[in-house]
Structure 1
Amino acid sequence: MKDIDRRLFMKLAGVAGGALLVRPDFALAGDIDTVSIAWMTDPVTWDPNQRLAPDPQTVLKMLFDQPLNQTADLELVPNVVTQWKLADDARSLHVVLRDDVTFSDGTPLTAEDFRFTFFERLQRGDEIDLIVGFGVVSDIEVVSPVEAVMRFKDPFPTAPQWLGFSASYIVSKAYAEKVGVEGMQTAPMGSGPYVLKEYRRDSRIVFVRRDDYWGDLPSVRQITFEIIPDPTARLAALESGTVDIALELSIRDVKRLQQGTAFNAIANPIARIIYVTVRADGAFADHNVRLAAHKAIDKATLSRAFFGGDAVTIDVPTIPGMPGNPQDFAFAYDPEGAVELLATSGHGPDKPVKLGFATTNGQFPGDYDLARAIVTMWRKVGIEASLTVITEAQWYELNATGKLPDASLFVWENGTGDPELFAGHMFNQDLPFSTYRTEEVTARVQLLFSEPDYETRIRGYEDLNAYLVEEGAIIPLLQAIQTIGFRKGLNFKPWSNGLVLPGAITPA
């Protein structure tokens, strides 16, 4: 992934406020009747504000619009919101909306819908993940049908990023009040470029393009998502012609497709990290065990074995080129050091520490095999891990109920390019994503959440990231790679946030 320069991240952090920018321009070279995509998981809900999980966002963005969009390299650009200005103290954000946006039922989208989405839904107690980012909103003043001012209880320096991040889709106030919470979850209606034509749970999703869409029309008239959890089956669907695009294939299969003549394939480094979560209790209550588990993992070997060496190894919970990455910090692979740490705590190959370890299988390329390799590396130094397979949805459920195993292999998406959405949300125990939960870590994170000065905040995250690794609170492994195979006759432009956008699919 190319490094994103500091000026871009200054924009993303909102220190210069928002400017009127040009919307991303998707050139249309003619229409495509239909495109079928082999996809990993079904959305657990059609309420676009309900879940922050990364994979459903591609599906939801077919139906719903966000206030802000991103370019392929994560720069914030206008969408429904054309102008935005963050106050110097980060306690308010002034936004101006387009005046020509309509929902698919023909009704106009106005500042009242903006207020309903980002304030009223939270006030009335809707159980939506949107509260994670926007729970700090104290009010939204509607100045006119196309103008509003968001006001915050505490400084909210990343408010602009959140307006272009997961779950931040504008919903129709009138429609939500008409169908209720259950209707939002089962019968979606938004202002996006497509409408839902057919839906079979855990099987198929069919979208048809809105030719009255207010924005640039995508090339594809109909997009079908075939839900295929197994990566081998996704590859088979592509090679048989059942689908036109397949996501999250093995890197080995991508290399093979690249050498053939029938398909194109991409290995796209994205703004996600692969890491091992750690709990602060159970087997990992011992600091020596936590550090030993990290020292025992040969990340370079994992990259070579499962990603052809293309996956960049990481030592802190962020990726190269993003702010918050402390310079000259490294955590070395040191299996002998791991053995020494375990011996200090009375463990070793003949008396292993035992722990639970969960992984997904097919959620991202090589996840299950990666987890098995880690189990083998741990066994060599004196850690015996019992591996279980779970889904992404189960990970969230188990974590929310305190039943997640001692460790889990997981992938974390941060399409904003700001460290708050990496370490900040991973380690604030008041949020639903934290696995390593301590008062000390949470206190450090919460100070950074309300720091309005960009430079101070970024230095704080650099210090926090180094501390988290030295504390053994996380085991960062690799920058995630999104693998995409697609048939000849299509052009596909990958995005650094990992989304598959309809406007990115064009005729070859």
Structure 2
Amino acid sequence: MKLAAAAGGTLLVSPNFAFAGEVDNLSIAWTTDTASWDPNQRLSPDPQTILKMVFDQPIDMTSDLKLTPGLLTEWTLADDAMSMHVTLRDDVTFSDGSKLTTEDFRYTFFERVNQGEELDIAVGFGTVSDIEILSPTEAVMQFSKPSPIVAQWLSFSASYVVSKAYAEKVGPEKMKTSPMGTGPYVLTEYQRDSRIVLTRRDDYWGDLPSAKQITIEIIPDPTARLAALESGTVDIATELSIRDVKRLEQGGTLNAVTNPIARIIYVTIRADGVFADRNVRLAAHHAVDKDLLSKAFFGGDAVTINQPTIPGMPSFLPDFHFDYDVAKAQELLAASGFGPDNPVTLDFATTNGQFPGDYDIARAVVTMWEKVGIKANLTVITESQWYELNASGKLPPASLFVWENGTGDPELFAGNMFDADLPFATYRTDEVTAMIKPLLKEPDYDTRIKGYEEFNQYLIEEGAMIPLLQAIQTIGYRNGIEIKPWANGLIRPEAITIS
């Protein structure tokens, strides 16, 4: 099965975009620092824009999430999904001048994982049993079991190629602090949780972005990011409130854009405790007015969702609905002995400032639940605490969470969200495991997508999660700049034009 290929003469090295003038420095107000400069270490979505400025991926994505050549010019997955032949570009160098070869590709996606380093990249490439090197530019990936979405993984978070020679020279700890990649920029100044300065490589193998230097100011507070933009301290500010974006759009002195992205906001559910009762799970979903959430916190721009994916992606069911129905919620709770005068009580965790409106959305859900007979005690946690609590089995019965899938593939939505072998699953049952495990190794595309359609519907009808909204990325920027948004939420330097 041939997934994608491009002839050398027509290779797209910078998907979808051409830029105009140049600028000496472009400053961006960003939400959080990268947890590590080792690009294979963490799958967290927020640092990926930063990491992709320094590192390149084997396969790239167009703005609408189509696979396109990156460091690879060609990739061919075997019909049984047990191997994939890949061809690398022959003109790529790391920032130290050394040439990229299949030795680096093998090291990144096989040797690093195989030698037991603590890397999130193992989630996508743990099935790689070997990478056979045929030449400096050709190799064959071998898998221990069918791996139908390896091409998507090669374009996803943390899938950046690192230099074998550099990694072995400096060791794992220095990889976390001193990055060296094939990307368009190099790190020239770094103050943790404060400032990142990246300088453009004029010897970059692809088209040069318009900014000779990019300064990223780490500003966690959205109000402070807006103030930095309005004062002229930064040229671009991300993740502003919808209210502020609407004001910027109407003001004329600054610009703003709202970008629906491949990220969903949802409520996680545990299968034990109070939510062992299916009636309670379903009542909690029926009680949420998602249209109101969209209007109240996103100006009506956020698309409401009833399944663990977004419109237009594979496995999305356009005719599937789950109604907001207060009477039905009360009926289900009453069948289990609960109601407004005798509420079921549970803890509910949320982040505050991780994405626009998170805490306010959680408070609104608490209010909606209270009307039908669910009393939720809201607590604030960080994203890292969410993972720690889930790993220790101490995550509250419900939590507001955001899930990003820059590929749109259902395995990286429902598949990873509910695979009990991964650190993301909260609803764990034998039935879910029995449904999901065959899909993770199904080589036939149509069969796999059909299976995920059925799995998505099952999850909602069982109350295994409460999908709320397709997330919106908000970007404010000064006049004289134009930005082409990417559906995976990345801000691409080559997608910024300067007039």
How high is the TM-score relative to the length of structure 2? 0.97
1:391 deviates by 2.1
Matched, 1:447 2:438: yes
Contact 1:18 1:86 (C-alpha < 8 Å) held by counterparts: no
For residues 100 and 432 of structure 2, the distance between their equivalents in structure 1, rounded to whole angstroms, comes to 41
* CA distances 1:300-325 after superposition (whole Å, capped 9, x unpaired): 11111111111111100011111112
Establish whether residue 228 from structure 1 lines up as the match of residue 219 from structure 2. Answer: yes
Give the structure 2 partner of residue 168 of structure 1.
Answer: 159
Structure 1: state its 5+ residue gaps.
1-14
Measured in 2, the distance between the counterparts of 1:283 and 1:246 equals 41
Aligned match for 1:326, one of 314, 317, 322: 317
Residue identity matched to 2:484: K
Asked if 1 retains the 8 angstrom alpha-carbon contact of 2:349 and 2:399, the reply is yes
State which drifts further: 316-325 or 389-398.
389-398
Query: What's the offset of the Cα at 1:440?
Result: 1.7
Counterpart in 2 of 1:290? 281
Distance 1:43 1:439 in 2: 36
Partner residue in 2 for 1:137? 128
Secondary structure (helix, strand or coil) at the match of 1:220 reads: coil
- Three-state SS of the structure 2 residue aligned to 1:144 is coil
1:374 and 1:151 map into 2 onto residues whose CA distance is: 46
* Deviation digits for residues 70-89 of structure 1 (CA, Å, limit 9, x no counterpart): 11111111111111111111
Q: Which residue of 2 aligns with 1:58?
A: 49
Which residue does 1:22 correspond to in 2? 12
Per-residue displacement from partner, 1:398-434 (whole Å, max 9, x unpaired)? 2222222111111111111211110000000001111
Q: Which of 181, 194, 210 is 2:201 aligned to?
A: 210
1:362 to 319, 343, 353: 353
Distance in 2 (alpha carbons) for counterparts of 1:441 and 1:228: 40
> Following the alignment from structure 2 to structure 1, what is the Cα–Cα distance between the partners of residues 228 and 390?
33
1:195 to 183, 186, 195: 186
Moved more, 193-202 or 421-430: 193-202
The code of the aligned residue for 2:124 comes to G
Tell me the SS of whatever aligns to 1:30.
Answer: coil
* Cα separation, 1, equivalents of 2:303 and 2:223: 24
Q: How many equivalent pairs are there?
A: 494
Answer whether contact 2:18 2:495 (CA < 8 A) is retained: no
Does the CA contact (< 8 Å) of 1:276 and 1:408 recur in 2? yes
2:431 paired with 1:431: no
1:460 aligns with one of 441, 451, 455: 451
| Letter paired with 1:22 | L
CA contact (8 A) 1:26 1:504 kept: yes
Give, in whole Å, the separation in 2 of the partners of 1:167 and 1:150. Answer: 18
1:34 positional shift: 0.9
- Alpha-carbon deviation of 1:236? 1.3
Mapped to 2, the partners of 1:25 and 1:338 lie a distance apart of 46
Q: Is the Cα–Cα contact under 8 Å of residues 251 and 306 in structure 1 kept in the other structure?
A: yes
Post-superposition offset of 1:151: 0.7
- Secondary structure, in 3 states, of the residue corresponding to 2:224? helix
The answer to which of 212-221 and 19-28 deviates more is 19-28
Shift of 1:25: 5.5
Q: Give me the CA root mean square deviation.
A: 1.2
Identify the residue that residue 63 of structure 2 maps to in structure 1.
Answer: 72
Q: Report if the CA contact (8 A) 2:235-2:477 is conserved.
A: yes
Structure 2, unaligned runs of 5 or more: none
- Alignment partner, residue 88 of structure 2: 97
1:280 aligns with 2:268: no
Preserved CA contact (<8 Å) 1:248 1:362:
no
Amino acid at match of 2:4: G
- 2:491 maps to 1:500: yes
SS at 1:62's partner residue? helix
Report the residue type matching 2:406 in the other structure. Answer: G
- Spell out, residue by residue over 1:236-268, the C-alpha distance to the aligned partner (whole angstroms, 9 max, x if none): 111111111111111111111000111110011
CA separation in 2, counterparts of 1:313 and 1:457? 25
- Counterpart residue identity of residue 246, structure 1: A
Residues 126-135 or 347-356, more deviating = 347-356
Describe the superposition over 1:135-160 as per-residue Cα deviations: whole angstroms up to 9, x where unpaired: 01111001001111001111111111
User: What is the deviation of 1:376?
Assistant: 0.5
- Distance (Å, rounded) in 1 between the aligned partners of 2:274 and 2:169: 50
Distance 1:105 1:85 in 2: 31
Q: Partner letter of residue 12 of structure 2? A: V
TM-score, normalisation: structure 1 = 0.95
8 Å Cα contact 1:26-1:218 kept in structure 2: no
Percent sequence identity is 72
Partner of 2:39: 48
Task: Choose the corresponding residue for 1:478, options 469, 472, 479.
Answer: 469
Give the letter for the 2:255 counterpart.
Answer: N
